[in-house]
C-alpha cells in the first residue's frame, strides 16, 4: 500500500542543494500541484536490473535522470575497481543513441568514470549499439555503457552495461554490479571532479574497422555488383542507423538505396512515429510509401540504437508483406548455412544460436545441414556468454531471436542490425539472380524444412495487483499443468525454473543445462509448442505459440498458413487469453 507521507519525505530529500535547480523545481511542483506524478516518481527506486537501467525520464527516484544514472555509474565503478582485469587501469567505452538527453547522460557517465580514475573511450557522436560492442573489444575495455532505451516510447531512456567481451553482463557480474549499485544510498557518494584528459574521443577510425568486419561477411560480392540497381528503401526511424547502414549497403555494392528523408533526421521525439519499434507495422508505413513510389522490392527499418531490424518484401502480387522476426531469422540462417555449404566452408565445427522461444525452423535448417544449434534463454547476453565459452573450440556463424534481433558475425557480441541489413540485401540480390524474390525464397525454405507459424500474445497486468496475478498464473501452470490443450495431449514440459524436462509419456525427467529462469514450455502431441514467461521489463506475461506442418509445394502456402493460424487461435481461445 502506498504511504503518501513516506513518498513526500522521500521527495523532500530531493530539494537539497546537492540537486540542481531544475530538478528541485520539478520536485517542488509535483509536491504542490500533482500528487499522482509525485507518487509515480518516488513510490519506488528505479531498479538496476541485469541489463542496467530503463525508465521514464524526469526527476525522482523512479525516473531516469542524472542522479539515478550517477548512482548506477558509481556502483558499476566500485565493482570494476574490484573485478576488472587490471583494477589500476580500468577502461570503459561509452556510446549513445538519438533519444532526448542521451548525449547529456553519456557525458555525465563519462565524467563519473574519470572521477573514479578510469580511462573513458567516448564516441564523439551517436552510434549503433553493435558498434559499442565492437569498440569494447577493439580498445581492450573492461566494460561498456550505451545510453539507449532501445525501441521504447520517446519518454524513456536507459543505461545498458556490457562486459569486456562486448556482450551484456551475465552471472556473476550482473548480480555483483546490482549489489554494488544498491549499496549507493546517496547522490553525495557519486564521484566528481575527474581529469577530463582521460576522456578519449573516438570516431571514424573505429567505424572503418567495424565496417570492414561487416564487409567480410559478404558471401556473394559478384552477385551484389550484378544487381547493384536493385531498389532498396531504408529508414533509421530517427535513430543511429541513419549514416552507417547506407554506408554498409554501398560497401556491399548497392547503388539504388533510398532513405526516408523525414526519418533520417535524428530526433528523440520521433515526430513521424507512434512508436520507434520496427516490430510494429505502422513504423514502416512511410518507408512502404516510398518503396511503392520508387518501385523498390525491399524495405528495411531499424530501431533507435540500430540493433533490431524489421523488413518488408514484395510478393508476386505486388503487395508488400512485413516479415516477422522468425521469418527474417530463417532467411539469414538459411543463407549463411547454404552459401557456406555451397562454398565448402562447413567443416562440421560450426554452430548457430537461437533462443528457446524462437522458431524451431532455425534448428531444422541447421540440423539438416550438419550445423549444431544451441538454444539459450531470451536475451542476447546469453548469446555472448555461449560464444565466449565456445571461443577457440567451435565457430559461430550466425543466430537470432524472434524479437527482430540477429547477429551474423562473431566480432560483435550483441544484436547487430547493420550487418543484418547488408546481408538481407545480399540475399535479395541472390534471389533476383535466380529470378525470384525474398518472398519466393522464404516459401522455398518452408517447402524444404517445414512450415512454421508463430504468434505472441501479451497479457498486460499493471500495478501490484497485476504482478500478483502474473505470479499466480505461473504458479498455476507450474503446479497444475494441463494434461491436454485443445484436444492435443501435452507430451513434454520444460520448466526452466526447476531446470527439468519432463517426458509425460515415459515419466522420465532430465536436467536442462541453462541458467534458471521463470519460463515454462508445453509440447503437444500434434507438434505445437507453447512457451509462457513473465516479462522482465514490463508488467505483462508473454505467451509464445508455435505450430508447424509439412509443406511439399509452395503453392500450398496460403491454405496451410491459414490452418496453422486457426490451430493457434483455437488454443488461445481455450486458454482464454
**The C-alpha cell of 73 is what?**
555509474
Helix H or strand E segment including 299 = strand 298-302
Residue where the block lists cell 507450474: 478
Distance from C-alpha of 294 to C-alpha of 313, rounded to nearest angstrom: 14
Candidates 150, 162, 419, 531; catalytic one: 150
Q: Identify any residues that bridge with 119 across adjacent strands, giving them in sequence order.
A: 91
Question: In this structure, what C-alpha cell is assigned to residue 331?
Answer: 532467411
Q: Starting at the edge strand that comes first in sequence, how are the strands of the sheet with 232-235 ordered? A: 257-259, 232-235, 298-302, 309-314, 320-322
DSSP 169: P
Q: Please tell me the distance from the alpha carbon of residue 10 to that of residue 62, in angstroms, as a whole number.
A: 11
Contacts of residues 565-569 at CB distance under 8 Å and 24 or more positions apart, as own/partner, are 565/453, 565/455, 567/526, 567/528, 568/453, 568/455, 568/528
Helix (H, G, I), strand (E, B) or coil at 101: coil
Strands 509-511 and 405-406: unpaired
Answer positive or negative: Cα dihedral of 521, 396, 160, 241: negative
Q: Please give the C-alpha separations between residue 154 and each of 34, 98, 104, 150, in angstroms, as whole numbers.
A: 22, 10, 16, 10
Task: Provide Rg for the chain, Cα atoms.
Answer: 24
DSSP 473-501: HHHHHHHS--SEETTEEEEEEEETTTTEE
8 A C-beta contact, residue 523 and residue 493: yes
Instruction: Determine the longest span between alpha carbons in the chain, in angstroms.
Output: 72
DSSP string, 504-544: TTT--EEE--S---S-EEEEETTS-EEEEEE-SSSSEEEEE
SS3 413: coil
The partner residues of 529 in beta bridges, in order of sequence, read 523, 546
Provide the angle, in degrees to the nearest 10, between the axes of the packed helices 66-83 and 173-183.
130
Is-catalytic flag, 488? no
* Residues forming the active site: 150
Amino acid at each position: 500500500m502506498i504511504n503518501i507521507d513516506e513518498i513526500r519525505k522521500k521527495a523532500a530529500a530531493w530539494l537539497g542543494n546537492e540537486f540542481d535547480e531544475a530538478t528541485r523545481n520539478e520536485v517542488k511542483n509535483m509536491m504542490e500541484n500533482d500528487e499522482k506524478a509525485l507518487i509515480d516518481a518516488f513510490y519506488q527506486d528505479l531498479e538496476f536490473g541485469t541489463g542496467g537501467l530503463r525508465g521514464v525520464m524526469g526527476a525522482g527516484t523512479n525516473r531516469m535522470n542524472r542522479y539515478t544514472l550517477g548512482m548506477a555509474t558509481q556502483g558499476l565503478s566500485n565493482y570494476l575497481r574490484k573485478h576488472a582485469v587490471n583494477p589500476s587501469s580500468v577502461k570503459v567505452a561509452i556510446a549513445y543513441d538519438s533519444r532526448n538527453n542521451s548525449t547529456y547522460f553519456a557525458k555525465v557517465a563519462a565524467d563519473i568514470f574519470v572521477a573514479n580514475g578510469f580511462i573513458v573511450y567516448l564516441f564523439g557522436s551517436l552510434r549503433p549499439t553493435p558498434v559499442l560492442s565492437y569498440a569494447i573489444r577493439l580498445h581492450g575495455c573492461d566494460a561498456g555503457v550505451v545510453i539507449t532505451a532501445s525501441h521504447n516510447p520517446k519518454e524513456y531512456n536507459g543505461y545498458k552495461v556490457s562486459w569486456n567481451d562486448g556482450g551484456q553482463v551475465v552471472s556473476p557480474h550482473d548480480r555483483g554490479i546490482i549489489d554494488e549499485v544498491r549499496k549507493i544510498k546517496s547522490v553525495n557518494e557519486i564521484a566528481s571532479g575527474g581529469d577530463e584528459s582521460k576522456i578519449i574521443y573516438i570516431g571514424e577510425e573505429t567505424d572503418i574497422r567495424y565496417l570492414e568486419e561487416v564487409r567480410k561477411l559478404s558471401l556473394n560480392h559478384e552477385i551484389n555488383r550484378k544487381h547493384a540497381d536493385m531498389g532498396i528503401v531504408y529508414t533509421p526511424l530517427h535513430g543511429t542507423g541513419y549514416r552507417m547502414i547506407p554506408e554498409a549497403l554501398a560497401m556491399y555494392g548497392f547503388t539504388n538505396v533510398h532513405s526516408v528523408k523525414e526519418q533520417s533526421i535524428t530526433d528523440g521525439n520521433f515526430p513521424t512515429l507512434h512508436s520507434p519499434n520496427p516490430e510494429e507495422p505502422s513504423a514502416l508505413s512511410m518507408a512502404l510509401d516510398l518503396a511503392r513510389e520508387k518501385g523498390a522490392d525491399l524495405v528495411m527499418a531499424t530501431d533507435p540504437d540500430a540493433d533490431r531490424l524489421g523488413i518488408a518484401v514484395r510478393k508476386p502480387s505486388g503487395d508488400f508483406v512485413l516479415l516477422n522476426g522468425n521469418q527474417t531469422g530463417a532467411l539469414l540462417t538459411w543463407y549463411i548455412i547454404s552459401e557456406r555449404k555451397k562454398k565448402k566452408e562447413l567443416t562440421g565445427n560450426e554452430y548457430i544460436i537461437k533462443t528457446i522461444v524462437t522458431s524451431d525452423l532455425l534448428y531444422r535448417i541447421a540440423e539438416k545441414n550438419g550445423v549444431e544449434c544451441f538454444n539459450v534463454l531470451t536475451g542476447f547476453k546469453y548469446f555472448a556468454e555461449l560464444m565466449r565459452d565456445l571461443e577457440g573450440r567451435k565457430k559461430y556463424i550466425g543466430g537470432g531471436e524472434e524479437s527482430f534481433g540477429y547477429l551474423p558475425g562473431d566480432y560483435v557480441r550483441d544484436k547487430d542490425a547493420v550487418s543484418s541489413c547488408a546481408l538481407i540485401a545480399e540475399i535479395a540480390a541472390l534471389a533476383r539472380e535466380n529470378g525470384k524474390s525474398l518472398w519466393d525464397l522464404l516459401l522455398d525454405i518452408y517447402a524444404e524444412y517445414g512450415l512454421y507459424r508463430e504468434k505472441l500474445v501479451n497479457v498486460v497486468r499493471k500495478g501490484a495487483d497485476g504482478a500478483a496475478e502474473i505470479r499466480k498464473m505461473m504458479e498455476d501452470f507450474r503446479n497444475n499443468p494441463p494434461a491436454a490443450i485443445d484436444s492435443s495431449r501435452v507430451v513434454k514440459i520444460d520448466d526452466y525454473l526447476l531446470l527439468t524436462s519432463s517426458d509425460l509419456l515415459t515419466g522420465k525427467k532430465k536436467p536442462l543445462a541453462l541458467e534458471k529462469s521463470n519460463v515454462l514450455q508445453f509440447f503437444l502431441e500434434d507438434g505445437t509448442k507453447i512457451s509462457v514467461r513473465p516479462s522482465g521489463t514490463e508488467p505483462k506475461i508473454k505467451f509464445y505459440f508455435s505450430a508447424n506442418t509439412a509443406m511439399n509445394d509452395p503453392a500450398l502456402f496460403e491454405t496451410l498458413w491459414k490452418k496453422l493460424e486457426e490451430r493457434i487461435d483455437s488454443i488461445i481461445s481455450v486458454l482464454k487469453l
